[in-house]
Structure 1
């Protein structure tokens, strides 16, 4: 399936289980695959037939920089729901949220949650 990719969107948010995360905040990275046919916009060269990258970024930003939640899974689910509400042409999406340097014991480069959702689930 065709897709638009929004890679490495960077945000600062206050999400996490630990009080320090909610107080101090931290960096997050989001990758989004927006799956739908690019044939019509490819032929028409008309933005009205596609999904505007900037608009999709702003939607993700609102979630990531908005109300704090505990889990990356909740952020990903909210983003996917908002994408489906906003774009009727969207057939499926994959959302990956990465937390660099998580405040948990051990040595990690990052932790992440990834979901794949289809419109008719």
Structure 2
């Protein structure tokens, strides 16, 4: 078994419950870790035998582009799509952080972490 991590994916998106968040948008950070059997790929040196991180990145981008009120909803969509489209993934964890959230205080970011297993 092994892990593939995509760290500090930086995106601009329009999530949030406030109407203004859907218009103005915010900066986001996404971290993703998937667990899969990477032994075959370590021997064959073939992309087809591993989890393609380009595919994982594309999934994150596409799901972050779909506006939601809650980061929990976005995270669940990302995990569901990974398990639907990427064979061999046995577990995944996604962290979505909203940078400088509009909560009336000096907060660097808020983060939601979700995980799923097959």
Q: Same fold (TM over 0.5)?
A: yes
State the match for 2:9 in structure 1: 9
- The structure where strand makes up a greater share of residues is 2
Q: Secondary structure at the match of 2:89?
A: coil
Which ranges in structure 2 are unaligned for 5 or more consecutive residues? none
Aligned position for 1:42: 42
Q: Equivalent residue for 1:56?
A: 56
Partner residue, 1:98: 97
Q: Distance in 2 between matches of 1:79 and 1:116?
A: 10
Runs of 4+ displaced beyond 4 Å: none
CA RMSD of aligned residues (A): 0.9
Partner of 1:82: 81
Q: How many residues align?
A: 118
Q: Distance in 2 between matches of 1:19 and 1:37?
A: 43
Determine helix, strand or coil for the equivalent of 2:96: strand
Distance 1:41 1:30 in 2: 26
Partner of 1:35, secondary structure, is strand
Cα shift at 1:84: 0.3
Contact 2:34-2:93 at 8 Å conserved across structures? yes
Structure 1 residue 54: Cα displacement: 1.2
What is the TM-score when the length of structure 1 is the normalising length? 0.94
